[in-house]
Amino acid sequence: MYLSKRSNGRYYIFYPQHNGKITCISTKTKLKNEALKFLSNFSNELDSRTKLKTIPISLHDFFFEYLKFSESIHSPKHTETLKATFNVASRYFGEIQLGDLSLSLLQKFVEERLKQVSVFSVKRDKANLSSAFTYGLSKKYLTDNIAKKLKLPKLPEKQPLFFSELQFDLLLKVIREKDIKDLVQFAIQTGLRQMELLTLEWNQINFKDRLLILDNRNSLTKSKKVRTIPLSINAMQIITERELNKNQRLVFTLNGNVIKPDFITHKFKSYVLKANINPKLNFHSLRHTFASWLVQRGVSIYEVSKLLGHSNISVTEIYSHLRAEDLRSAINVLNN
């Protein structure tokens, strides 16, 4: 293993792969002291990995294998986000063995990505790589999930974008198709994610106890846990009317046909524009609206977290700013 400077001024590390073939990796720097530090970290990581037996596989082949696996358990939308991350990573790393991918090299990748895209996009890349590397561990391709150790800048806090009651009324007025209007109103009554709604089947509805069960059989919930949601009177009215005319297993269809995620995403955006309301509102805003309206009506963050199926209550705390009255009541004790 050795360090060499190329005509472009950058330093490269030349080293033997598992198959004996010599390859090189850019240190992404023109400064020798930084390159030597990179070389030291890279060498130490490779040495520790060679002591543990792993099955060699190229990064390209690993990404291809994981995408095939993803298609069998994830939604098409999630698999597309994986493809986007893997395409960028493949272009950056080139022909490299998965086992030769070090934390220092991956951190450099993150730093370069942050110059091009938002921290939110890089956070998604990290999550995608981490899920893939967890799979790699199970297949003995890796001995450690280095993606989990990546350091990212702290995400700026974003307030959830949700419909006011007036905006939602304006939206409903421009939706002519009853099938889609039912879908939108049911979304606001349950807080379900788009794919949870589009794959919802009649056998998941317990009419007697007014419950909806997300059991991970039709589509995986984000937390991978079974979730039971009590249905409001309005939600029950929507599905009771739809049950009278049901002709297939899905609860929500359009003219009897399956509703595709991309179709409803674009169709919903056209309704928002037609209603002349905030153009940043999208289908996912219905989920935010469900949570926001509950919080504004005095429902606790803990209860909202359970209804949304969040794995951690800290995720739900983005809605806590809507409980300003609680803070006002608390501060008023100083007047006594």
pLDDT in tens, 242-268: 998 887 889 999 998 999 988 999 999
- Compute the Cα dihedral for 286, 292, 298, 304 and give only its sign: positive
Residue 28: the pLDDT is: 78
Asked if the structure places residue 154 within a domain, the reply is no
Residue 222: the pLDDT is: 53
Residue 192: the pLDDT is: 93
For residue 277, pLDDT over 80 is answered with: yes
Give the mean model confidence (pLDDT) for residues 94-120: 88
Number of domains in the chain: 2
Residue 333: the pLDDT is: 55
Asked if the structure places residue 299 within a domain, the reply is yes
Query: 106 and 213 share a domain?
Result: no
Long-range contacts of residues 3-6, Cβ cutoff 8 Å, at least 24 apart: 3/27, 3/35, 3/36, 3/39, 5/32
Least confident of 121-125, 214-218, 279-283: 214-218
Task: Tell me what the pLDDT averaged over the chain comes to.
Answer: 85
pLDDT digits (tens, 9 = 90+) for 114-160: 889 888 889 999 999 999 999 999 988 988 899 999 888 876 666 78
For residue 327, pLDDT over 60 is answered with: no
pLDDT band at 305 (very low <50, low <70, confident <90, very high): confident
Residue 326: the pLDDT is: 53
For residue 166, pLDDT over 80 is answered with: yes
For residue 336, pLDDT over 70 is answered with: no
Asked if the structure places residue 304 within a domain, the reply is yes
The alpha-helical segments, DSSP class H, found in the chain are: 32-50, 59-73, 76-93, 103-114, 119-138, 165-174, 178-190, 194-198, 233-243, 261-274, 285-296, 301-308, 313-316, 324-331
For residue 68, pLDDT over 80 is answered with: yes
pLDDT band at 329 (very low <50, low <70, confident <90, very high): low
pLDDT band at 34 (very low <50, low <70, confident <90, very high): confident
Query: 128 and 207 share a domain?
Result: no
Asked if the structure places residue 60 within a domain, the reply is yes
Least confident of 38-52, 77-91, 305-319: 38-52
Query: 15 and 143 share a domain?
Result: yes
Q: Look up the domain containing 273 and give its range.
A: 165-330
If we measure between CA atoms, which residue out of 48, 51, 57 comes closest to residue 17? 57
Query: 116 and 199 share a domain?
Result: no
Residue 153: the pLDDT is: 80
- Tokens read off for 232: 């409001």
pLDDT digits (tens, 9 = 90+) for 217-243: 655 445 556 888 999 999 999 999 999
Query: 170 and 311 share a domain?
Result: yes
Query: 137 and 192 share a domain?
Result: no
SS3 116: coil
The last residue of one of the domains, among 121, 149, 177, is 149
Residue 72: the pLDDT is: 84
For residue 66, pLDDT over 90 is answered with: yes
Q: Are 252 and 184 in contact, with CB atoms under 8 Å apart?
A: no
For residue 4, pLDDT over 90 is answered with: no
Query: 196 and 140 share a domain?
Result: no
Query: 140 and 243 share a domain?
Result: no
What's the predicted TM-score (pTM) here? 0.60
Give the mean model confidence (pLDDT) for residues 36-59: 75
If we measure between CA atoms, which residue out of 72, 51, 55 comes closest to residue 18? 55
Query: 183 and 257 share a domain?
Result: yes
Query: 175 and 300 share a domain?
Result: yes
The last residue of one of the domains, among 114, 149, 184, is 149
CATH code of residue 249: 1.10.443.10
Asked if the structure places residue 203 within a domain, the reply is yes
Query: 213 and 136 share a domain?
Result: no
Residue 202: the pLDDT is: 93
Residue 18: the pLDDT is: 60
CATH code of residue 133: 1.10.150.130
Least confident of 70-84, 153-167, 184-198, 269-283: 153-167
Residue 330: the pLDDT is: 53
Asked if the structure places residue 29 within a domain, the reply is yes
The alpha-helical segments, DSSP class H, found in 115-218 are: 119-138, 165-174, 178-190, 194-198
Q: How far apart are alpha carbons 27 and 284 in whole angstroms?
A: 40
Asked if the structure places residue 159 within a domain, the reply is no
Higher pLDDT, 128 or 326: 128
Residue 325: the pLDDT is: 56
The alpha-helical segments, DSSP class H, found in 177-260 are: 178-190, 194-198, 233-243
The last residue of one of the domains, among 119, 149, 179, is 149
Asked if the structure places residue 336 within a domain, the reply is no
Query: 264 and 178 share a domain?
Result: yes
